[in-house]
Chain A
Amino acid sequence: MKLIIIDYGSGNLRSVENAFKKTIIDNKFKINIEVTNDLQNIRKGDFLVLPGVGSFPDCSKGLKVIDGLVETLSEEVIHKEKPFLGICVGMQLMVDYSLEKIKTSGFGWLKGYLRKIKISGSDYLGRRYKIPHMGWNNLNVSDKKHPILRNISEEEQFYFVHSYYLDKSLESEVLANTIYNHEIPAIIGKKNYFGVQFHPEKSSFAGQKFISNWIKL
């Protein structure tokens, strides 16, 4: 089987590749990883991962520069129902639109839009809220039976770094939230496509468990 990490010029591909490689080796999955932006190769993939760091408009532009990529993703994920995971901005691209810098549309696979995290007020220690929401945070799981969260307790923490969050999402499409001043969807998805606001590739053991759960779905 082949797992494709989609390379559209958006940052930390090495980290994503390293983490998936480790999960695959540790679990003895029979999967090869390929980092590519070639549409033919993407079509041959059995698992598709869309990473993304930086701003929503930049990532969106990066995708559109590769002629036919967005259409290919939609064909492979929505019609052929291949397993898909969007990470950070890769997750954000799955929803309707973002208000970061300028209103930019996403794929519209899931409901909601991105808006800036609210930082009014102070936290439990009286510190001002800062932006980005940066660091390790735990999940409040809505669907405790979902296999993507197998063996992951609510105490476990994942590494987040983002300034925009998904608002007006559908309750049925949010599998877990995290709290930073307010609720922030952390895992979204349905059917064969999921997105995570955190970085499983940088989330140590918890991230490894999550990646392995996703592959096993």
Chain B
Amino acid sequence: MLSTRVIPCLDVHNGRTVKGINFLNLQDAGDPVEQAKLYSEVGADEICFLDISATNEQRKAMFDVISKTAETSLVPLTVGGGVNSLDDFRNLLNSGADKVSINSSAVYNSTLINEASFKFGNQCVVLAIDAIKNFKMPSGYEVTTHGGRKKTQIDVLKWADQGVKSGAGEILLTSMTTDGTKSGYNLELTKLITDNVDVPVIASGGAGKPEHMIDAVLKSGASAVLAASIFHFGIYSIAEVKKEMSNNGINVRV
């Protein structure tokens, strides 16, 4: 039976893990290679790196992080952040990433999903969608870019559908309203997407405790759950989350 995936995500800046609130007051929080290795040893089903470097110079450090992580963590590795072109895809995959997530660039470069999935296969193209509530949108949610700062006037459901048709193999769905709040995933938004697309959906944004993960799966149909801070700050371990999920009838890998 297929397990529901639990995915820790690390924010990486200039080759180091950082923590901060809304990308401000970044503080060094360790070596992403070591952290990914630890996560993979304690049951992370995949590892996700989000590169929040601002400059190309800082971004180069990421390739080294990816290649070292790929040598030591033998679980799938998704990398996102600042991916703008087929060359970015190629460089990340050649460094050892298994999947690449694209966000803003998919909005501003409408053919990138198509080209990337054609060139590298659907399985490695993850469409990351950052959504906010907007009653004026047909589905009630709008796509944003640049970490939620820019609105696009694009309806989230239409965008997800279009992304899948263009070749995205998975959707990483973040609710910008709940992100960082630890008050739980946006269940309504997650269900809206899982009900309407054929590809797996990773719920993201707002995980504060295992119940939130359980709800995302049981109430919203998520195929996977992603969290950053609760794992990073050791509030819950991956094993604790999985145990709770398992107690609630969700099959997980132990």
Residues of chain B lying within 8 A (CB to CB) of residue A12 = 93, 98
Within 8 A of A (CB), among B121-166: 121-124
Is B1's CB under 8 angstroms from A137's CB?
yes
The reply on B240 being an interface residue by CB < 8 A is no
Q: B residues engaging A (CB < 8 A)?
A: 1-5, 40, 45, 67, 70-71, 74-76, 93-96, 98, 120-124, 169-170, 194-195, 198-201, 217-218, 221, 223-224, 249-251, 253
Is A202's CB under 8 angstroms from B199's CB?
no
- Report the minimum CB–CB distance from A213 to chain B (whole Å): 16
Q: With A127-B194, A135-B3, A135-B223 in contact, is A202–B123 under 8 Å at CB? A: no
Q: How far is the CA of A12 from the CA of B40 in the complex (A)?
A: 19
Is A14's CB under 8 angstroms from B3's CB?
no
Interface string of A12-23 (1 = CB under 8 A from B): 101100110010
**Besides the known contacts A53-B123, A202-B74, 9 further A-B residue pairs in the complex with CB atoms under 8 A apart:** A11-B120, A14-B70, A119-B198, A124-B1, A127-B221, A136-B45, A138-B1, A157-B3, A161-B76
Is the contact region of chain A dominated by helix, strand, or loop, or is it mixed?
mixed
Residues of chain B lying within 8 A (CB to CB) of residue A22 = 71, 74
Which stretch, A35-43, A72-80, A203-211, touches the partner chain B? A203-211
- Report the minimum CB–CB distance from B166 to chain A (whole Å): 15
- Report the minimum CB–CB distance from A60 to chain B (whole Å): 13
- Report the minimum CB–CB distance from B38 to chain A (whole Å): 13
Residues of chain B lying within 8 A (CB to CB) of residue A207 = 74
Is A14's CB under 8 angstroms from B76's CB?
no
The reply on A7 being an interface residue by CB < 8 A is no
